[in-house]
Amino acid sequence: MNYTQKYLFISILAFIFYSNTFAQCDYFENQVECFFLMDTRYKISSQSTNASIRPGDTLIFNAILFGNRDYLISLCTLKEYYPISFKITDKNTDEIIYDNFYDFYSESVGFFVDKTRFVKIEVRVLADKKNYSDVIRKKGCIGLIIQYKVNFANQ
């Protein structure tokens, strides 16, 4: 094998590794693990996203919640990564809008937004204690689903 062939071979291997490592969570929020959280009465926001995460990691997602809309915000992951802790905070006032700690780590919350708010959604995968040692070294995926519908009753 000459130098060019070796370089090409190494480049292809690196690309395959990169694709499998970092692209594994693409569109995770549209996968089977998340279907049960979808509500056909709502539209899916383009702000819905996904990321790779390990138990104990904390991720922060930023979002704009437009006024006069009902929102349904949900998180999903692989079953061994539950429970998921998440908190929604207004970025301008630091007011905690929702913390699922007080709701037995529910993975979904619905609420009405009267005026546009910039929020941060802080997410942490806790992983059940019996599974924690099994999954601590593995990266998994987490999906954030933001659904909305215009609330005509409150106009």
Domains in the chain and their CATH numbers? Answer: 25-154 (2.60.120.380)
For the record, the structure tokens of 64 come out as: 């704009």
Phi-psi region of 34 (alpha: psi -120 to 50; beta: other; left: phi over 0): alpha
- Predicted structure pTM score: 0.79
Residue 3 banded pLDDT, cuts 50, 70, 90? low
Q: Across the chain, what does the average pLDDT equal?
A: 82
Residue-wise pLDDT tens digits, 10-65: 555 444 444 444 457 887 777 767 877 788 999 999 999 999 988 888 999 999 99
Q: Of all residues in the chain, what percent carry a pLDDT higher than 70?
A: 77
Cα-Cα-Cα-Cα dihedral of 34, 61, 98, 114, to 10°?
Answer: -100
